[in-house]
Structure 1
Amino acid sequence: MSSAGSAGTGSDEPEGIRLQKVLAAAGVASRRVVEDYIAAGRIAVNGETVTEPGRRIDPTSDVVHVDGLRVQLTDDHLTLVLNKPLGVLSAMSDDRGRPTLEPYVEPTGKRLYHVGRLDSDTDGLLLLTNDGELAHRLAHPSYEVSKTYVAEVAGDVARGVARRLRDGIELEDGPARADRFTVLQQRRDASVVQIQLHEGRNRIVRRMLEEVGHPVTRLTRIAMGPIRLGQLRPGQTRPVVGQELGQLMKVVGL
């Protein structure tokens, strides 16, 4: 715990800033409402529940959770959702001059990195962030962050395909299993399906669906953990803030 967290009264400079002021500035609630949260035991600083309204903290080093969700206390970190268009590489530059993520990052004025990747022929949700710890955990297999896709596939999907994918199939680099699989539309020569999994191997969705006899003709990622693409149009971005950011951090234990 930082020394600011245990400071008492006095000037803000050496002893930190009142918790109510920090959380109000972070957009959690008014100072008065934050005082009610403190009295109700809904706020924790560095893992310790705070019950006294006089608590001071250092926003640059202390970690605050409200109702179990972490609050971003400074504007140093930025996390965005991008609806990555088809044909765009999950890279910031390319020697061959192909479209990259750089035009979507440049307006922020920050050095953002993509979390994981989407193939150039896959569109949809891609997270961009300069929060190194968040990016590391989201990409690490041990946290098993789910990813949800909608795919247009060739053929009429038989009833047994869903069970095969949920039970697990064998690929050349090992077994793979879908957490969920749903047929959204059936047509004579094509189908639209939704598949959720927590694996991140290269082209895993395409390989799984091809293995069960339904090659992908269009693939879009619509969710990553609690973050959903929603109505964001291709090429558009939006910030991940507030409770949504807190839920994302909770998934990876932050």
Structure 2
Amino acid sequence: MRINKYIALCGVASRRKAEELILSNRVKVNDEIITELSYQVDEKNDIVKVDDKIIKEEEKLVYILLNKPEGYITTVKDQFDRPSVLDLVSDIKERVYPIGRLDYETSGLLLLTNDGDLTYKLTHPKHEVEKTYVARVKGKPNRREIENFKNGLKIEDYITSKAKLKIVKYDDKKDVSTLEIKIHEGKNRQVRKMCKAINHPVLRLKRVAMGKIKIQDCQIGKYRYLTEEEIKYLKSI
């Protein structure tokens, strides 16, 4: 990349002003003063300085919604070398990371970004964003089990916060229910553990919404960029 363009992308000056900086001997690449306006920078490997201060390209903030398939981890890598959700967004130039997680067997909505401030905000316990799941479970929860689910269950060493559960459909031939579940917390495999605690183990689980952000018609294994309205909503939480 031409040196003046690189300086402009770093937000230091316009291309024309960047040329003035170069001609004034104020620009170095790998500690060598650069005077040629046509000098080509290797933006990945070269260290560029203006007035002896290292400059870097301003990173474009991106916000992505991925429809995660089952069988993908939400960490960069693990000991079993299983595929990562990052493999599904490898064509994106920016380095993005998941906001929160979805377990290996769960599919659905996963947000990814390179906005560290937003990631911290949305994963902090005090910002309780409602997450909506569709679960296929064994059997049909009765009234008592539903009330217990809604009011809090003892899971290992903690009691879950209030939640919502609605039976969407029941297949009496297969003895399988489709449930809509809404929780505010995000503990490891929490929905699965809650369903197991009321004796209705999860067969399939998909997250379909986080707050007002919905998966809509995003195909499984595909992603889309969030709209300006969706980004504004997340930042307002």
Q: Which of residues 72, 90, 93 in structure 2 aligns to 1:106?
A: 90
Q: 1:28-58: CA deviations, max 9, x gaps? A: xxxxxxxxxxxxxxxxxxxxxxxxxxxxxxx
Q: Out of 229-238 and 170-179, give the one that drifted further.
A: 170-179
Q: Which of residues 128, 133, 137 in structure 1 aligns to 2:121?
A: 137
State the shift of 1:166 in Å: 1.4
For 1:196 and 1:226, the matched residues in 2 are separated by: 12
Report runs of 4+ in structure 1 exceeding 4 Å deviation.
none
Contact 2:136/2:179 (<8 A) preserved: yes
Within the alignment, does 1:216 sit opposite 2:202 as a pair?
Answer: yes
Q: Which residue of 2 aligns with 1:81?
A: 65
> 3-state DSSP class of the match of 1:96?
coil
Structure 2: gaps spanning 5 or more residues: 1-12, 14-57
Contact 2:152/2:163 (<8 A) preserved: no
Contact 1:161/1:212 (<8 A) preserved: yes
For 2:107 and 2:149, the matched residues in 1 are separated by: 22
State the shift of 1:126 in Å: 0.5
Q: 1:67-110: CA deviations, max 9, x gaps? A: xxxxxxx9821010000001011122345331112222221111
Normalising by the residue count of structure 1, what TM-score does the alignment of the two structures yield?
0.67
Q: 1:161 to 1:186 in 2, by over 3 A?
A: same
Q: Which residue of 1 aligns with 2:231?
A: 245
Q: 1:236 to 1:178 in 2, by over 3 A?
A: farther
For 2:124 and 2:140, the matched residues in 1 are separated by: 35
For 1:94 and 1:102, the matched residues in 2 are separated by: 13
Normalising by the residue count of structure 2, what TM-score does the alignment of the two structures yield?
0.72
Q: 1:122-163: CA deviations, max 9, x gaps? A: 000111000000001111111111111110000122123222
State the shift of 1:121 in Å: 0.4
Q: Which residue of 2 aligns with 1:194?
A: 180
For 1:132 and 1:105, the matched residues in 2 are separated by: 18
Q: Which residue of 2 aligns with 1:116?
A: 100
Within the alignment, does 1:163 sit opposite 2:147 as a pair?
Answer: yes
> 3-state DSSP class of the match of 2:185?
coil
The percentage of counterpart residues that share the same residue type is 37
Contact 1:105/1:111 (<8 A) preserved: no
RMSD value, Cα:
1.8
Q: 1:96 to 1:193 in 2, by over 3 A?
A: same
Task: Give the number of the structure whose alpha-carbon radius of gyration is greater.
Answer: 2
